[in-house]
């Protein structure tokens, strides 16, 4: 499975693409960041992020997109920009019909290092080791994007298949209930 990991941010939006399967070492396809100038209007910055992610999706053709789940921080302005960039990543994925998974920072840290409290340096070192890279991806946003993609390959793929199966089963049950209600409604004078 090829996964595009997105570490959302308004100034630096990390992007990382990996190929892999659960139980096997993943391989890096590409890594980088979309940078936007801080003095640019926020709407234009979001447009640049959208264009950058769009190019990555078109070039690398991922099967899924893993985005860091935004959580509340003390700096409301920072969390707003991060949430907006995450929304752009989800929008691009939806435009291409790609499934989107949101992973919390602690979930990613635990998947990559074994500890949900790992620091950025530990994440970078483990991403370098897991992907057998010569050097740690820089900046940290790039390494974080690769970590998101690895986490999804190792954890998210099964979770999304389970969610799809659960959704399909629920839809089947709803159809059966509707058919039963229609059938019994006709017997009782046409009312369901």
Q: Which residues pair with 68 in a beta bridge?
A: 103
Residue from 50, 68, 107, 144 carrying the catalytic annotation: 68
Q: Count Cα atoms within 13 angstroms, Cβ side, for 163.
A: 9
Which segments of 8-145 are extended strands (E)? Answer: 12-19, 27-35, 64-68, 100-103
Active site residue 68: yes
First to last CA, the chain: 45
Rounded to whole angstroms, the Cα distance separating 148 from 64 reads 11
Say whether 134 counts as a known binding-site residue. no
Residue from 7, 50, 107, 144 carrying the catalytic annotation: 7
Q: Which of 5, 12, 15 is nearest to 36 (CA)?
A: 12
Residue from 50, 107, 141, 144 carrying the catalytic annotation: 141
Phi, psi of 102 (to 5 degrees): -105, 125
Active site residue 19: no
100 and 152 in contact (C-beta within 8 Å)?
no
Say whether 41 counts as a known binding-site residue. no
Say whether 50 counts as a known binding-site residue. no
Rounded to whole angstroms, the Cα distance separating 93 from 57 reads 8
Binding annotation: 7, 68, 141
Binding annotation for Mg(2+): 7, 68, 141
Indicate which residues carry an active-site annotation: 7, 68, 141
């Amino acid at each position: 499975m090829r996964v595009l990991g997105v570490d959302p941010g308004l100034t630096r939006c990390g992007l990382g693409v990996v190929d892999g399967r659960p139980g096997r070492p993943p391989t890096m396809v590409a890594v980088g960041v979309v940078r936007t100038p801080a003095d640019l209007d926020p709407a234009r910055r979001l447009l640049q992020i959208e264009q950058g992610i769009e190019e990555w999706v078109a070039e690398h053709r991922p099967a899924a997109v893993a985005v860091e789940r935004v959580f509340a921080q003390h700096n409301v302005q920072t969390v707003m920009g991060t949430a907006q960039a995450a929304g752009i990543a989800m929008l691009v994925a939806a435009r291409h019909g790609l499934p989107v998974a949101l992973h919390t920072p602690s979930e990613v840290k635990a998947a990559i290092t074994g500890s949900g409290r790992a620091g950025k340096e530990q994440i970078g070192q483990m991403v370098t080791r897991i992907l057998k890279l010569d050097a740690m991806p820089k900046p940290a946003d790039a390494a974080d994007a690769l970590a998101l993609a690895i986490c999804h390959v190792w954890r998210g793929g099964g979770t999304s298949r389970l969610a799809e199966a659960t959704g399909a089963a629920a839809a089947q049950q709803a159809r059966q209930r509707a058919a039963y209600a229609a059938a019994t409604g006709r017997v009782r004078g046409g009312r369901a």
